[in-house]
Structure 1
Amino acid sequence: MTVRARLAACLFFLNAAALAGGSAVWESHTYEDFLKGRFEGVALTRDGRLILAPALETLADTGDAGIWSVATAPDGTVYFAGGHRGRLWRYRKGSKPEMVWQAPQPEIFALATDSRGRLFAATSPNGKIFLFENGKASEYFDPKATYIWSLKIAPDGILYAGTGSEGKVYRIPKAGEGEVYYETGQTNVTALGLDPQGRLLAGTEPNGILYRIEARGKAFALYDANLQEIRAIVPGARGETYVAALGGSQAQKQAQAAVSAATSTAPAGVVTTSITVTAEADARAQSGIEVKPKADAPKPTATAMPEAQATAAPAEIPGMEKAAIYRINPDGMIETVWSSKEENILDLAIKGGDIAFSTDRQGRIYQLSSQLSSALLLETREGETTRLIQAGGELLAATSNSGKLLRIGEPAKQGRYISAVHDAGNAARWGRIEWRGAGSLIFRTRSGNSARPDATWSDWSEPITDPARNQIPSPPARYVQWLADLPQNAAVDAVSISYQAPNGKPQVRSIQVLPQWTALPPKLSAPAPSTSSYSITVTDTGEAAPTTSAGTPSQVVPRSGTPQILISWQADDPDNDRLLYKLEYRAASESRWIELRKNIAENSVLEDAERFADGRYIFRVTANDSASNQPDQVKRAELLSAPVLIDLTPPQVTARVEGRGAFIDASDSASPLRRAEASIDGGPWQPLAATDGVIDGRKETFEFKAPSTQGEISVVIRVIDAAGNAGLTRLVLR
């Protein structure tokens, strides 16, 4: 964005924010803001501008659940296939698409064409690789694998196949002849590609490892991604390689769909559950990169189908990365050039000097520039855009949920952008809609009280086209949404909606009263004099009086601190208004409130506990939002604490000596007694029992018996109440 454009944006939003007190503004002006909306013939540039997107032309609507694979022949013929009916389609420019073959299996997960225009098709489950030539299909190779996920023709014309569920790569030099070229130790080889030097690359699942296969049985692990599946591999124009990875295993979803289709007589819809990875396959996946060849396992019969497992889809953790694009540079350095926490990436394609990639969010297609900035090229409005391919200088896209082949052409003549829904937090009155852009833009709004627009929402408003007459006509409600219709040469840079929501009432959620002990600051002692002080009294006889000593004063051990009470509370406001508080208290037996603090912004107060007499007290916190609202709109809320016992007085303790023992009487005026202990000659504290067997009253009598040893002993008795106050007495037994 240019300096002038940035300045205009700042002025625009300063004007939008200059509203009456208490009003709010919903702003959309960045790439991230607009990306939350819905795009119908509209694209989003890297700097956050809405413009017309390339037009979409439907070349074929197969009626199938999805298209899984696409390939182009040297003469420009496009082949595409999918599920769940195993149908192969052909499209030639200027003619209608036609179905040219139906496989014996329900899925065709991979297609590849060689320089002679021959087409190879891989079927699943328990399928084979077929050669389609001159309008006829014939079996080319049977890898004896449950799934065949990927095919690739090397520069020397040799065909390679990536399979599952044993994670093997096959090298197939000619019909009927093939060999295991490399065993990855993973469950599935989900992608095959070539690097700029023509070396074979293999991407796997479930550990997301990318291999460079250098010879039979020899490979180098280029990258171990933190995502589950390597989905696509394409070489770049400057010696780099781009790799797409996703977290929710697409291979497992497609495998389960294939099993469902194979075991059902009716066409199946798109299945989003995953299959269960067997313990044997999982052990191989976890065992590391190098896996020694194993003896061939018993092969399934031609009619055997894998058993469907009723299992949950791979777990997706909110906030965690779901997909990424990695760039492998010629020097081997790997960097993440794009990632998402909301969308799974499904394919990559070179588009000029940029990278086009597709996702499972409304079938979006993005464009990543050589400077690594992304832009939303368009939304196909299908569930997923599964494959991208360049054909005759044009970008083609295949989709699922509705198996279509689409051509991406020149910019559309018109388009529509529908914003995300905005939550005002409460029923709001709408103000103005303001915008900045180019061309003859048309805006509409609607509102409602359900989080998702439905039949209860208002209709779209009449067009708003004049910036001077931009009052929003939609009725007051909690939620609002806007749309923009873009004609040719139009663009949207920023949109704002102002609104006034009723002031929400704050809420005081809790009050907590805790005791504290604050240490007293140390006192500075006076320096000792260098000589002893004394006085001399002179009598009238001239003789000196006897010298009198000043004596040695007793040392006083001062109290180390003062008791305090911390009163804290939690409060919030639905509008995030700044809150001010008033703190009051009263004795539980009284009705008059006494103010402790007023108009404080902090949510805690530390008070000297000694300002309260012993007893039970109730505290009240009142919150108000006067700092953020006009006086007539201020809202208040209050909360009372539970009764709080304040007891600073220790129990009264007396002792009655009887021989080599004593009876101790203890009482407390505020709280019950909890514990009594005795220490003999400064020794450890030993518990004393109440004469009635239970220490639970405000008055108790305890008995102390001296040990059998003869001689004088000093005994300190300590009685502690429920507030932790300790009453002490000392006695001497002889």
Structure 2
Amino acid sequence: MMQRYLVLGCVAPVMLAGAMCAQGTKLWTVDRYDTMERGSTDGVAIRSDGRLEAGPEKSMLYDTGKSYVWSLASDRGGNRYLGLGGTAAGTGVVMRVAPDGKTVKLLETKELAVQALAVAPDGSVFAATSPDGKVYRTAAGGGAGTVIFDPATTEEKPKYLWDLATGRNGDVYIAAGAPAVVYRVPAGGGKAEVLFETADQHIRCLMMAPDGTLWAGSDGAGVIYRIDTKAAGAKPFAAYAAPRREITSLTMDEAGNVYAAGVGARAAMPLPPLPVTGNVGITVTFAQPGSSTAAGANSLVPDGSEIYRIAKDGTPARLLAMKDDVVYALAFRNGTLWAATGNRGRVYRVDVGMPGRFTDVAHLEAAQGMAFAPARDGLLVATSNSGKLFQLGDAAAKESVYTSEVFDAQGYSQWGRVERRADGAAQNYELWLRSGNVESPLMGWSDWVRVGVDGAGTVPPGRFAQWKVVLHPGTPAGIDAVGLNYLTRNVAPILDEIVVQPGARMAAGGGTPASTTVQVAFPQPPGAAPGVSFQPDANTTPLTAQKDKGSVTARWLAHDDNGDDLVFAVWYRGVGEQNWRLLKDKISDRFFSFDSSLLPDGSYELKVVGSDAPVHEDSEALTGERVSQVFVVDTTPPVPGALTATLVPAAVGTAPRIHAVLEAHDATSPIAHAEYSLDAGPWQYLEPVGQVSDSMAERYDFTAEIPKTTTPVADAKEHVIAVRIYDRYENMAAVKAVVR
């Protein structure tokens, strides 16, 4: 049965869940892979088209207690072999896990890690250690390891041993790096021979085909080689040069198609040329492959990875590009291509018939899926960070549960009907829902409530919600999408801060302000009321206004937890008054400039009222408000009294002077400062009696020396003295007197 969505109101997909719609019923939808993968899976697989279906049975067989399992192999008797390693010498160990779960330390080496394992037809176990390692052979029943290959004894002396493969006749093939060489060690032991070597840095992986063709992948140029091991003197053939620099794994299907994983961006060969002449020394540095570095450091390889197919006729094709995953291992089982990846510990099933399509089948409790090995009824997976051994069964999981991520409605909400798009009968799966008011479901959430066929599942209102689906075993149920309707309760807007700046005006029409500007910014300048730091409103940059002493500009921060559009009204009242009077309403901006002459001189407060009325009916609209700090409107200059000035005759050795006396007062604000000029000379700062200018009335009593001019003082008929008085808001009045 297919069910389609019929949604009334605002649809908010989960990828946009943080972008709240203004009002009405909303729908949280999970219907794509990138949203499905954020949840947790237990026996559930997630297809790349977002479909949930039953996944393979997953079980943990062994926890090593170590960080790294680098390699994995199995034999016909059901024994599993794990190659361990660490960050210190002597940590390279081979562990055998028997079918009954008992573990035995099969081999302990002096090297850092057991990089590769292989099981010979006779049951012998081969282990390659790295770096500066060796290849050891251990008998099927255990015992001391025997060195069958030591790179130090070769002419090339490679630093790294990366992979092993065995032929049907018992020959052992060794992939080495720094430099890149493939060696062959004859069955039963003997001197190793160079099968082939390349100009790359490393040979990273090997695969022996049933027909005796050895396949090898390199690091550096990302080349996949093949060579016929049955033909004497056969030359390697470069079957494919991948777009990526490192080939991490190879596998083959029953039809003879080869699959390869490539990681890392292509780059020029980093090995410097050797000097031809002279006595100049150089240092040659061999870098480990990016995938090995990533696994050891638990960090991603840039640019993700890709999976390729080389058809039996040699035609290459890209099957899958993965942005955030590094493919460490490939395996082909029961007609399916599997990929183990890091650094999220995922196992994918790749659709070889349709490029780009895959299924996320398992989330491992580790950072990297490092290696595959076959099991009797499934596939073994070894992991690093932390080092464990899992098995993915051929059969579907007995219990398949998917739990969504926690959804944040961004506000207290009422939860409605759950919609789903699925196939199969409704009894083939169960859908559950729960809610809460804290982000963690472990902290006081509601119990899980079963969702009925009609989508009803009553859970308490709250801010957070989560759903889960249980797929019943043996049924063809699959879930393509789940949507949860919800209605966020309307809450009042909040006015977070108000700044009032007298002497400032926004440019008319929003044009470019004049060069003389005032910055109206948060927080307020020193001496003003403490500002509030509020994050939800990001528009806190300074507002550039024109300097205009005849205007007042108010600016405010506001937010609405529902995301509603807001309109504002600005009110005023004088200090000591009871009633608010409207200045302007229906303001959509978050600032307002007005002519200060609308208000008589005095002290005032502004109140800004925000309303969500644009997106709600009048009966449901809510408001929030905030009152500013007191500000002063003062447009009237001070009132000076009469300026009395008299000539003081010159005494012996002194110049004549003028003695002046003046009183001034202001009705609204204190006198700020005064200055005088004598005979149109420069303005001189003038202190009041008492020196501190802090009152609404000030008295000035001063003597000014008459400046020397080209005209002798004795010949001057008269002198003019002028005084300018300023109040705190730069209103100015002037007075003058003529002295004869």
- TM-score norm. by structure 1 comes to 0.64
- Note the residue ranges of structure 2 that are not aligned, 5 or more in a row: 13-20, 208-212, 226-240, 275-280, 286-295, 311-317, 510-546, 648-655
- Matching of residue 438 in structure 1 with residue 423 in structure 2: yes
In structure 2, what is the equivalent of residue 423 of structure 1?
408
Q: CA offsets per residue over residues 328-378 of structure 1, 9 Å max, x none?
A: 999xxx9994334xxx64625366897734234464547487977464422
Provide the alpha-carbon RMSD of the alignment: 5.8
Q: Separation in 2 of the partners of 1:321 and 1:296?
A: 23
Q: Give the residue type in structure 1 aligned to 2:50.
A: G
The correspondence of residues 415-564 of structure 1 with structure 2, limited to 5 A, is 415-439=400-424, 440=426, 441-454=429-442, 456-461=444-449, 463-467=450-454, 470-487=455-472, 488-514=475-501, 515-517=503-505, 563-564=550-551
In structure 1, what is the equivalent of residue 323 of structure 2?
339
In structure 1, what is the equivalent of residue 134 of structure 2?
129
Q: Separation in 1 of the partners of 2:467 and 2:199?
A: 54
In structure 1, what is the equivalent of residue 146 of structure 2?
138
SS class of match (1:610): helix
In structure 2, what is the equivalent of residue 585 of structure 1?
572
Q: CA offsets per residue over residues 285-313 of structure 1, 9 Å max, x none?
A: xxx8749876899xxxxxxxxxxxxxxx9
The correspondence of residues 31-430 of structure 1 with structure 2, limited to 5 A, is 31-56=33-58, 60-61=61-62, 63-65=64-66, 68-71=69-72, 79-82=81-84, 86-89=92-95, 99=104, 101-104=106-109, 108-113=113-118, 121-123=127-129, 128-135=133-140, 137-139=145-147, 140-141=149-150, 150-151=162-163, 159-161=174-176, 192-193=204-205, 201-202=218-219, 232=248, 242-244=261-263, 290=272, 324-325=304-305, 337-340=321-324, 345=326, 347-349=328-330, 356-361=339-344, 363=346, 365=348, 367=350, 373=356, 375-389=358-372, 391=374, 396-400=380-384, 401=386, 403-407=388-392, 409=394, 411-412=396-397, 415-430=400-415
Q: Separation in 2 of the partners of 1:178 and 1:676?
A: 103
Contact 1:22–1:629 (Cα < 8 Å) also in 2: no
In structure 1, what is the equivalent of residue 32 of structure 2?
30
Q: Give the residue type in structure 2 aligned to 1:637.
A: G
Q: CA offsets per residue over residues 542-572 of structure 1, 9 Å max, x none?
A: xxxxxxxxxxxxxxxxxx9883322221111
Shift of 1:635: 3.2
Contact 1:67–1:404 (Cα < 8 Å) also in 2: no
- Matching of residue 708 in structure 1 with residue 708 in structure 2: yes
Q: Separation in 1 of the partners of 2:105 and 2:92?
A: 11
SS class of match (1:48): coil
Q: Give the residue type in structure 2 aligned to 1:669.
A: A
Shift of 1:169: 5.4
Contact 1:103–1:123 (Cα < 8 Å) also in 2: no
Shift of 1:593: 0.5
Q: Separation in 1 of the partners of 2:727 and 2:119?
A: 92
Q: Give the residue type in structure 2 aligned to 1:70.
A: S
In structure 2, what is the equivalent of residue 612 of structure 1?
599
Cα–Cα, structure 1 residues 158 and 326, in superposed 2: closer, same or farther, change >3 Å? same
The correspondence of residues 682-693 of structure 1 with structure 2, limited to 5 A, is 687-690=685-688, 692-693=690-691
Contact 1:109–1:150 (Cα < 8 Å) also in 2: no
Q: Separation in 1 of the partners of 2:395 and 2:203?
A: 31
Shift of 1:697: 3.9
Q: Give the residue type in structure 1 aligned to 2:204.
A: L
Q: Give the residue type in structure 2 aligned to 1:605.
A: F
SS class of match (2:6): helix
Cα–Cα, structure 1 residues 719 and 385, in superposed 2: closer, same or farther, change >3 Å? same
Q: Separation in 2 of the partners of 1:143 and 1:684?
A: 95
Q: Give the residue type in structure 1 aligned to 2:634.
A: D
Q: CA offsets per residue over residues 428-486 of structure 1, 9 Å max, x none?
A: 4432222121113311122333322227333322x43422xx32133344332211122
Shift of 1:612: 1.7
Shift of 1:660: 5.7
Shift of 1:13: 3.5
- Matching of residue 722 in structure 1 with residue 728 in structure 2: yes
Q: CA offsets per residue over residues 389-411 of structure 1, 9 Å max, x none?
A: 37599764223546113235355
Shift of 1:21: 7.2
**Candidates 640, 648, 670, aligned match of 2:668:** 670
Q: Separation in 1 of the partners of 2:8 and 2:161?
A: 55
Percent identity at matched positions?
A: 21
SS class of match (1:12): coil
In structure 1, what is the equivalent of residue 631 of structure 2?
644
Greater mean alpha carbon deviation, residues 640-649 or residues 572-581: 572-581
Shift of 1:508: 0.7
Q: Separation in 1 of the partners of 2:418 and 2:68?
A: 42
Greater mean alpha carbon deviation, residues 383-392 or residues 509-518: 383-392
- Note the residue ranges of structure 1 that are not aligned, 5 or more in a row: 163-167, 204-209, 215-220, 247-287, 298-312, 522-559
Contact 2:22–2:563 (Cα < 8 Å) also in 1: no
Q: Give the residue type in structure 1 aligned to 2:708.
A: S
Contact 1:108–1:121 (Cα < 8 Å) also in 2: no
Q: Separation in 1 of the partners of 2:354 and 2:578?
A: 72
Contact 1:688–1:703 (Cα < 8 Å) also in 2: no
In structure 1, what is the equivalent of residue 535 of structure 2?
none
SS class of match (1:32): helix
In structure 2, what is the equivalent of residue 569 of structure 1?
556
Q: Separation in 1 of the partners of 2:661 and 2:357?
A: 84
Q: Separation in 1 of the partners of 2:723 and 2:191?
A: 100
Q: Separation in 2 of the partners of 1:697 and 1:369?
A: 90
Greater mean alpha carbon deviation, residues 440-449 or residues 569-578: 440-449
Greater mean alpha carbon deviation, residues 25-34 or residues 434-443: 25-34
Shift of 1:587: 0.9
Contact 1:584–1:594 (Cα < 8 Å) also in 2: yes
In structure 1, what is the equivalent of residue 622 of structure 2?
635
Shift of 1:639: 0.8
SS class of match (1:596): strand
Shift of 1:596: 1.7
Shift of 1:115: 9.3
Q: Separation in 1 of the partners of 2:67 and 2:628?
A: 62
Cα–Cα, structure 1 residues 40 and 74, in superposed 2: closer, same or farther, change >3 Å? closer
Cα–Cα, structure 1 residues 677 and 466, in superposed 2: closer, same or farther, change >3 Å? same
Q: Separation in 2 of the partners of 1:656 and 1:456?
A: 83
Cα–Cα, structure 1 residues 197 and 667, in superposed 2: closer, same or farther, change >3 Å? farther
Cα–Cα, structure 1 residues 661 and 183, in superposed 2: closer, same or farther, change >3 Å? farther
Cα–Cα, structure 1 residues 355 and 402, in superposed 2: closer, same or farther, change >3 Å? closer
Q: Give the residue type in structure 2 aligned to 1:53.
A: G
Cα–Cα, structure 1 residues 51 and 199, in superposed 2: closer, same or farther, change >3 Å? closer
Q: Give the residue type in structure 2 aligned to 1:40.
A: D
Q: Separation in 2 of the partners of 1:241 and 1:716?
A: 95
SS class of match (1:452): coil
Cα–Cα, structure 1 residues 114 and 433, in superposed 2: closer, same or farther, change >3 Å? closer
Shift of 1:641: 0.3
Contact 1:450–1:479 (Cα < 8 Å) also in 2: yes
Greater mean alpha carbon deviation, residues 129-138 or residues 41-50: 129-138
- TM-score norm. by structure 2 comes to 0.63
